[in-house]
Amino acid sequence: MKLILLTLTTVALAIVSPAAAQTIYTGHWDISAHPHPHDEEMELEVGLHNHDTGVEYELPGPQFHFGFGNSDGTGPAPKANLAIGTNNYSVWISAHDEDAADLLNQPFIGFSAEELGSAEELGTNWTGDVTFTLSSLLYTGSGAGNLFLFEGEDVFWNSTLTGANRGVFTVGVGQHAHGEFAFSDEGLYTLTLEVSGNYNGSPVTSSTTTLNINVVPEPGSGALLLAGMAALAGLRRRIRRPV
């Protein structure tokens, strides 16, 4: 009997907390530009920074997991219509702020150039804007695999375009900002990124790196938690029932 209860408890925990060491499910994260002095020259690197805890990863690193489900846990969330120019795309859209992301159990992803504005470490040698460029996108899945980054009517990234037309997201030195991500289909999106800035009046561009985002239509995690707890309670009641 104890073995049965242990097994059921393990299953329930797997449902409510599917944490993998190299997968990010929640939290406020920034794709960040890092200064990197090298051989008396200044270079740029791209990393991931947790805005709340200070944890950082180099890229390529952990992948993000976006689950899109109804809040009542009945199944995948309906897609929204995203109008870009004369084209309309049926997409899932990420949470528009950190509170909404927490409720949906999604990561909240921004862009940061805050480290380039640290007067204590670097003085004021970084000036102007920092640009995060989507160089290319590799999609692994059964759909079209279109990705967009936008805010209101402003579209920053559009993977349906080619070359430099895919767009850039711009952040001021010492600042960080957010947009909303939109995905046309479930699957794995591998983004190739590079960052550019201006140091001592000269342009500096990072080498390209990749960021993985896994998009999954799934029931809401809160409902899964309740369902797992209810199932475990029911099984315990059945186990305790007199024979």
CATH topology (fold) of 28-221: Immunoglobulin-like (2.60.40)
| Residues linked to residue 57 through DSSP beta bridges, in sequence order | 48
**pLDDT tens digits for range 186-222:** 999 999 999 999 998 899 999 999 999 999 998 765 4
Q: What 3-state class would DSSP assign to 49?
A: strand
In contact, 173 and 126? CB cutoff 8 Å: yes
Q: What is the mean pLDDT of residues 28-52?
A: 89
Cβ neighbours of 24 (radius 10 Å):
23
In contact, 95 and 26? CB cutoff 8 Å: no
**pLDDT tens digits for range 154-196:** 999 999 999 889 999 999 999 999 999 999 999 999 999 999 9
pTM above 0.95, yes or no: no
Q: Domain ranges in the chain? A: 28-221
> Between helices 221-240 and 2-16, what is the axis angle to 10°?
170
In contact, 206 and 148? CB cutoff 8 Å: no
Cα dist from 237 to 15, 93, 231, whole Å: 20, 41, 10
